[in-house]
C-alpha cells in the first residue's frame, strides 16, 4: 500500500470510526482509550505528512542543484 493510500485510509476510514466511537462512549475509561487511539492516528498522519514534505523538499533541492551545476558548466565552457 502506498503512503498516499495509507493516509487516505487513515483519514477516510480510521477517523470517522474513532469519532463515532468517541461521541457514543459513555464509560470514561473507554473514552480515554479512544482518545489515545485518536492521538495515535493524528501522530501517524503527522509523521506521514512530514516524510512526504521532506521527500518533496529533497527532490526539489536535488533538482535545483543539478540545474545549477548544469548552468555553471555552461558558463565555464
37-65 pLDDT per residue, tens: 999 999 988 888 888 777 776 666 666 66
User: Is the per-residue pLDDT at 29 higher than 60?
Assistant: yes
**All 3 cell numbers of residue 51?**
516524510
Report the alpha-carbon distance of residue 68 to residue 75 in Å, rounded.
11
Look up cell 480515554; give the residue.
32
Residue 68 confidence (pLDDT): 61
- pLDDT higher for 76 or 53? 53
Q: How far is the C-alpha of 32 from the C-alpha of 54, rounded, in Å?
A: 33
Task: With cut-offs at 50, 70 and 90, classify the pLDDT of residue 25.
Answer: very high
- Taking the C-alpha atoms of residue 15 and residue 77, their distance in angstroms, rounded to an integer, is 57
Amino acid at each position: 500500500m502506498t503512503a498516499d493510500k495509507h493516509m487516505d485510509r487513515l483519514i477516510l476510514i480510521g477517523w470517522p470510526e474513532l469519532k463515532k466511537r468517541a461521541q457514543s462512549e459513555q464509560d470514561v475509561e473507554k473514552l480515554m482509550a479512544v482518545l489515545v487511539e485518536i492521538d495515535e492516528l493524528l501522530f501517524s498522519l503527522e509523521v506521514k505528512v512530514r516524510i512526504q514534505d521532506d521527500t518533496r523538499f529533497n527532490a526539489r533541492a536535488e533538482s535545483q542543484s543539478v540545474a545549477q551545476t548544469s548552468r555553471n558548466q555552461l558558463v565555464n565552457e
